[in-house]
Amino acid sequence: MSTDRPSNLIKHPGQTSIASLENISDFSLNITDCAQVVVPEEVFFTVAAAGILENLLILIAVIRNKNLHLPMYFFICSLAISDMLGSLYKTLENIFIILCKMGYLTRHGDFEKKLDDAMDSMFILSLLGSIFSLLAIAADRYITIFYALRYHNIMTLRRALVILAIIWAFCAGSSIAIALFSYEAATVIPFTILFPLMMCFILCLYVHMFLLARSHAKKIASLPSSTVHHRTNMKGAITLTIFLGVFLCCWAPFVLHILLARFCPHNPYCACYMSIFHVNGTLIMCNAIINPMIFAFRSPELRSTFKKMFYCSRSSCNW
């Protein structure tokens, strides 16, 4: 690609004769006017590998530590699994493209198309799984705060597992359906409406919790012997903004891409937006890296489990 471009640029752009291939490549010059922004493969693989490793660590830690067999950690595990799937998809797609470039696979074969469809459905599964896991985590925290006294009766382990099974079955079914019928507007529109709807719902849950926490802090501050610092209120606002800001910034570009690809693929502005598709994919993988830091690593119990795991592996403890 890089060797073709300079020769195209030298040619006169005004030629309209269709006899020669070179003039038609002038036409293709217009297509590549907004060139695809290419993310280097090393960056891609590094980000994907980091995401997969981090989420795998969380899964292992939750499985090994019996204290972490709680609904809250199961929901965090579900988020880790969906992040892992997203990074795995990108890695497989990259490998697939490298194989295509090296000639082991053709571009137009049936098998490749089916494989591509399967990978697309894995990616949509990851997106839906992410959204619903975040929703489940928010709902779990909401119940913890507003129904604190009955939490253990409302959210038992069995119910949490049933909820997770329902969520993943729904996501799997929808992802297969969306991947099969992805060329129709009827699938794209619900898909893109789901995203802001879930965002708003999660935002409302967290804001309500935030208001309760603030009123608690006010009550404590009104006590004469209170030593709570006023800055903790600001911290809550920052934390909530980070939560939702990260989710928005990582997923919204991709959702917009899908919308534009469906409704205005020939518009030059839309085409320029779609040329940064791989940056959007990298952002989604960055989300897989950031999510554990926001959700999982804040738990002291999980952190101590990690320390035990690492120190044990370093100083061969008794296995």
Pick from 110, 186, 222, 318: which binds other proteins (CB under 8 A)?
222
Among 30, 46, 106, 313, binds other proteins (CB under 8 A): 30
Q: Is 148 a residue that touches other proteins (CB under 8 A)? A: yes
Q: Which of 82, 62, 73 is nearest to 129 (CA)?
A: 82
Residue 170 interacts with other proteins (CB under 8 A): yes or no? no
Distance separating alpha carbons of residues 283 and 269, to the nearest angstrom: 21
One character per residue 104-143, x = contact with other proteins (rule: CB under 8 A): ---xx-------x------------------------x--
Taking CB under 8 A as the criterion, which residues in 175-194 touch other proteins? 183
Enumerate residues 46-105 that contact other proteins by CB under 8 A: 66-67, 70, 72, 76, 93, 96-97, 100-101
Which two structure tokens, joined as six digits, stand for 57?
A: 């660590």
CA dihedral 155, 160, 162, 168 (to 10 degrees): 140
d(CA 158, CA 161): 5
Distance CA 250, CA 252 (A): 6
Residue span 275-314 as binding mask against other proteins, x where in contact by CB under 8 A, dash where not: -xxx---------------xxx-xxxxx------------
- CB of 122 or CB of 302, closer to other proteins: 302
Contacts of 66 (CB under 8 A, 6+ apart): none
| 121-129, 153-161, 166-174, 310-318 -> range binding other proteins (CB under 8 A) | 153-161
Number of residues that bind other proteins (CB under 8 A): 102
- Nearest partner of 288 among 120, 126, 139, 95, judged by Cα: 126
Toward other proteins, which CB reaches closer, 189 or 272?
272
Minimum distance, C-beta of residue 162 to other proteins, in the bound complex (Å) = 14
Of 7, 28, 46, 106, the residue at the interface with other proteins (CB under 8 A) is 28
Q: Percentage helix, strand, coil, to 5, in the chain?
A: 80, 0, 20
Q: Is 272 in the site for other proteins (CB under 8 A)?
A: yes
Q: What span, in angstroms and rounded, lies between the C-alpha atoms of 5 and 23?
A: 13
Among residues 172 and 203, whose Cβ is nearest to other proteins?
203
Least Cα distance to 179 among 131, 134, 127, 101 occurs for 127
